[in-house]
């Protein structure tokens, strides 16, 4: 590693380095202040790197009175004290290219050789302070300074030579801490701090920049997991950071990690050897039985009482072998070995020495750092490469992540190859749960069904998905709740449709695993089952039993059943499913097609009924003609198989939709077909009068289509024919509508007074429905505005108002309100409507008609609001009077969805809180 890289990767060592440089500078300027440093830390803590960092720093920014040399990490040629001095002398002149002198076989005159080597060294020091970096100093002492005499010479040198400073490193500093040893307290001890999680992040960021890249969020998330795994060991962190940035295959990382552990074997053996015997039993029980564990659990594992082991266990805590943690809200402390590489060493050497999987060495790491999908991806890769043990390791980790007990899976399902081949399906379950997570209660089922349509478009595919996730759910557990107990409760609960059952099963094998929620869910299901059993009336019992019998058909066709059930719930106004009514109609249509495919005629009839009710209700409340047409088209596969009643109703619904889409000619044809079907049924049914009345109503709608196609004569003729077909004395609402339309078209042919005289006679036929007929006179104003001019429209409207004013026996206020609603429906220009309101005081003087005047003010306020909304006028200010606001809202509700859409009054619903 070159100096630039060493400096760039400096992590977590800057403070210690600054302190050491300050000490060196002080020694160079104050020779009497003799001191030496001993850097201690476990293997892999970064002692060698720290000395290289010191070397690179002094090379980059030299101190004026200081020279630094770093001895090789291993010193195989130094077996006598003078040979250390000779090696330092040699390295003072690197340009000489001198390889040094080989070690002597036997050294007899050690004192003389020491003095000569020391004199030569002092002669070669040309600066006030020579700093010598020496690694593995404890090993050097044992190797070259074996006698007390040798140690005394070294002590004398360190205590009295102002031009020499040692910066040494060792795993431990025991040789400097024994009061009866010659080197007692010759060093200032500094322990390398363990890397913190922040240090891991900083190192990864620097390592990425060294490679000319930028660490990703996912890579930072992985290093966060690694930081728990390494126990702050810098060497292990560096190896694993390389795995993150450079390696796309865990096997390569495992090999690197295996090599790192192998290199640290002596160190870990020594760590284990230091543990007292009884404490060693507890350490073994902790690793062997699984972490984390409480002292109570360890006592159970070792067949002891907690107070018997507390003192022995305290040794592990006091000496930093384990750390403690506590779950939020819990009193019990749990313990885990701090150095995760030590755990892996212990497992490799003592628990599973014959492990076939190369990934076993980093199983804990992979469990924390590979995502669920990545575990499956690598498992599939290794299985394809014939690396079955490695594939199995990853599959086991994936199952453990979701708390799936592999022994509870059916043999054919739990085979490694089968699990790997099915993992895409499992990931689909996760994706669907993720789609609905965070959604409001009403939106969950909507989003769920959309995701199901995307992934499982048929009953067979959805049934297979439910069976797959149910198998996983049965083998799962969370806390004390077993999936094998929870699955039957879900399946037997009659309030769930298959989509909801599927969602619950997905959650049981999914990502978010909260044992308290599982427990509450189980209790709620058990309570529901108990309530059904305790409070079962004969009627309710029969309904539940019928539903349970129906559930077999539901689970055989789960997609169809879910569409059926959820569309019906929406129609009934359930707050648990927030979908538009047109969507309910669409789902009901799909359900009807699905039931027909499996021969469930009764369920098909129910779905068709839900479709029509949802469609009609949607048409009354929503303006979405494209979606209405799409819902109608869903029924095309079974349209010819519907009974005649449903077929005719379908034609009428299609005509309404085509009319809203502006396809008036097609709408007319659909109505014509529907009328023909009604008339064909009339002789063969007991409901002939009702059929004839409905055929007459359709005739009136056909007349409207003719009017929309600018065929007023044909429209007038059809309306006139319609009133002759409506049974006498009945269906007054339909009759009044046709009479009003006839008057509308007659206004284009003759003067208004004559039309009013005709209307006087006609209104006698519809007592109580006069307003309905008069309202449609306003259509004539719209016709004049469309085909002529606003002036002609105003004149036509004034004629209508004068005729109404001359007939005080009619419901004036209701008629006026109806006229204005009708004219707004027909898009009469705002100016014409205001000008006509301006004529009211002359026709209905305020003193005699105060209520008419109040209505005028209300309508003026309404026009102001509607025009502002339509044009987007931000200057408009809503009225402060709450009663007026309520009245204006009621008037708007009287408009059709199409008109409210045109005026910009139909706004999307505000999102619910999640």
Phi-psi label, residue 320: left if phi above 0, alpha if psi -120 to 50, beta otherwise = left
pLDDT in tens, 195-215: 888 988 888 888 888 888 888
**HEC secondary structure over 733-768:** HHHHHHHHHHHHHHHCCCCHHHHHHHHHHHHCCCCC
User: What is the Cβ-side half-sphere exposure of residue 823, based on CA atoms within 13 angstroms?
Assistant: 31
* pLDDT value, residue 440: 81
- 328 — pLDDT class (breaks 50, 70, 90): low
Rounded to whole angstroms, the Cα distance separating 793 from 795 reads: 5
Residues 6+ apart with CB under 8 A from 291: 335, 336, 337, 343
For residues 173-187, give the mean pLDDT.
69
CB 594 within 8 Å of CB 559: yes
Rounded to whole angstroms, the Cα distance separating 318 from 332 reads: 19
Residues 6+ apart with CB under 8 A from 515: 478, 479, 480, 481
* pLDDT value, residue 515: 82
pLDDT in tens, 483-501: 999 999 998 887 889 999 9
What is the sign of the dihedral through the CA atoms of 557, 558, 563 and 567?
A: positive
pLDDT in tens, 720-741: 999 999 988 788 999 999 999 9
Tokens of residue 525, six digits? 């299901």
CB 738 within 8 Å of CB 700: yes
Rounded to whole angstroms, the Cα distance separating 696 from 702 reads: 10
Rounded to whole angstroms, the Cα distance separating 209 from 429 reads: 38
Mean pLDDT of the chain, nearest integer: 87
* pLDDT value, residue 913: 38
Helix (H) or strand (E) holding 99: none
* pLDDT value, residue 914: 34
User: 889 vs 689, which has greater pLDDT?
Assistant: 889
pTM above 0.75, yes or no: no
* pLDDT value, residue 909: 44
Pairing type for strands 333-337 and 322-326 reads antiparallel
- 514 — pLDDT class (breaks 50, 70, 90): confident
- Answer yes or no: is pLDDT of 319 > 90: no
- Answer yes or no: is pLDDT of 462 > 70: yes
pLDDT in tens, 770-819: 999 999 999 999 999 999 999 999 999 999 999 999 999 999 999 999 99
């Amino acid at each position: 590693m070159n100096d630039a890289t060493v400096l760039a990767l400096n992590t977590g060592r800057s403070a210690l380095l600054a302190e050491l440089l300050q000490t060196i500078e002080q020694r160079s300027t104050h020779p009497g202040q003799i001191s030496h440093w001993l850097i201690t830390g476990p293997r892999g803590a970064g002692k060698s790197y720290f000395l290289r960092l010191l070397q690179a720093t002094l090379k980059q920014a030299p101190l004026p009175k200081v020279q630094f040399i770093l001895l090789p990490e291993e010193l195989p040629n130094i077996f006598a004290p003078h040979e250390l001095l000779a090696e330092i002398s040699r390295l003072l002149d690197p340009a000489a290219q001198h390889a040094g002198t080989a070690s002597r076989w036997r050294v007899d005159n050690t004192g003389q050789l020491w003095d000569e080597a020391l004199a030569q060294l002092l002669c070669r020091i040309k600066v006030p302070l020579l700093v010598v970096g020496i690694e593995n100093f404890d090993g050097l002492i044992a190797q070259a300074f074996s006698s007390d005499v040798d140690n005394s010479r070294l002590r004398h040198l360190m205590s009295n030579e102002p031009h020499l400073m040692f910066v040494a490193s060792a795993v431990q500093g025991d040789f400097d801490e024994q009061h009866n040893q010659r080197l007692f307290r010759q060093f200032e001890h500094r322990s390398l701090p363990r890397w913190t999680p922040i240090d891991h992040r900083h190192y990864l960021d620097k390592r990425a920049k060294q490679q000319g890249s930028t660490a990703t969020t996912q890579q930072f998330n992985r290093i966060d997991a690694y930081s728990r795994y390494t126990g702050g060991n810098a060497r292990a962190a560096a190896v694993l950071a390389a795995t993150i940035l450079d390696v796309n295959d865990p096997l390569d990382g495992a090999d690197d990690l295996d090599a790192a552990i192998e290199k640290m074997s002596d160190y870990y053996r020594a760590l284990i050897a230091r543990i007292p015997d009884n404490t060693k039993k507890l350490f073994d029980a902790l690793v062997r039985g699984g972490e984390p564990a409480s002292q109570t659990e360890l006592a159970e594992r070792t067949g002891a009482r907690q107070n018997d082991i507390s003192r022995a266990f305290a040794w592990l805590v006091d000496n930093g072998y384990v750390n403690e943690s506590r779950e939020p809200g819990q009193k019990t402390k749990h313990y885990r070995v701090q150095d995760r590489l030590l755990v892996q060493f212990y497992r490799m050497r003592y628990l599973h020495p014959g492990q076939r999987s190369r990934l076993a060495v980093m199983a804990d790491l992979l469990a924390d750092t590979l995502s669920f999908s990545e575990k499956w991806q690598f498992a599939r890769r290794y299985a394809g490469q014939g690396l079955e043990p490695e594939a199995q390791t990853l599959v086991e980790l994936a199952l453990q992540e979701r708390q799936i007990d592999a022994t509870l899976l059916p043999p054919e399902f739990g085979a490694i190859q089968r699990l790997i081949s099915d993992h895409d399906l499992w990931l689909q379950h996760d994706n669907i749960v993720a789609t609905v997570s965070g959604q409001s209660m009403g939106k969950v089922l909507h989003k769920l069904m959309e995701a199901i349509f995307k992934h499982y478009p048929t009953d067979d595919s959805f049934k297979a998905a439910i069976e797959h996730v149910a198998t996983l759910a049965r083998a799962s557990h969370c806390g004390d709740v077993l999936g094998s107990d929870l699955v039957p409760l879900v399946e037997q609960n009659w309030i769930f449709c298959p989509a909801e059952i599927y969602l619950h099963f997905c959650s049981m094998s999914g990502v978010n695993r909260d044992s308290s929620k599982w427990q509450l869910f189980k209790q709620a299901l058990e309570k529901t089952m108990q309530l059904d059993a305790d409070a079962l009336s004969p009627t309710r019992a029969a309904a539940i039993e019928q539903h349970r019998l129906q559930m077999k058909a539901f689970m055989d066709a789960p997609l169809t059943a879910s569409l059926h059930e959820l569309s019906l719930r929406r129609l009934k106004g359930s707050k648990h499913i927030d979908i538009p009514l047109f969507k309910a109609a669409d789902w009901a249509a799909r359900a009807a097609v699905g039931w027909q495919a499996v021969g469930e005629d009764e369920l098909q009839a129910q779905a068709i009924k839900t479709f029509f009710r949802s469609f009609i209700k949607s048409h009354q409340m929503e303006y979405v003609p494209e979606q209405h047409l799409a819902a109608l088209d869903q029924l095309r596969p079974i349209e010819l198989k519907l009974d005649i009643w449903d077929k005719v109703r379908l034609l009428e619904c299609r005509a309404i939709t085509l009319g809203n889409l502006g396809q008036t000619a097609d709408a007319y044809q659909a109505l014509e077909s529907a009328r023909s079907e009604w008339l064909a049924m009339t002789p063969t049914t007991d409901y002939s009068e009702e059929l004839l009345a409905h055929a007459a109503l359709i005739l009136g709608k056909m007349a409207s289509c003719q009017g929309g196609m600018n065929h007023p004569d044909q429209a007038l003729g059809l309306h006139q024919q319609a009133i002759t077909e409506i049974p006498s004395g009945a269906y007054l609402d339909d009759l009044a509508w046709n009479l009003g339309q006839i008057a509308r078209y007659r206004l284009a042919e003759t003067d208004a007074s004559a039309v009013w005289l005709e209307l006087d006679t006609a209104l006698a036929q519809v007592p109580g429905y006069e307003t309905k007929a008069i309202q449609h006179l306003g259509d004539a104003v719209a016709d004049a505005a469309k085909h002529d001019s606003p002036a002609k429209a105003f004149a036509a409207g004034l004629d209508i108002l004068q005729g109404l004013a001359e007939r005080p026996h009619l419901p004036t206020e209701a008629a006026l309100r109806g006229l204005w609603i009708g004219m707004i429906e027909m898009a009469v220009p705002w100016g014409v409507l205001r000008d006509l309101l301006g004529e009211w005081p002359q026709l209905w003087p305020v003193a005699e008609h105060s209520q008419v005047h109040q209505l005028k003010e209300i309508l003026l306020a309404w026009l102001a609001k509607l025009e502002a909304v339509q044009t987007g006028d931000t200057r408009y200010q809503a009225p402060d009077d709450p009663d007026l606001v309520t009245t204006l809202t009621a008037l708007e509700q009287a408009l059709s969805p199409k008109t409210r859409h045109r005026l910009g009054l139909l706004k999307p619903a505000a999102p619910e809180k999640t």
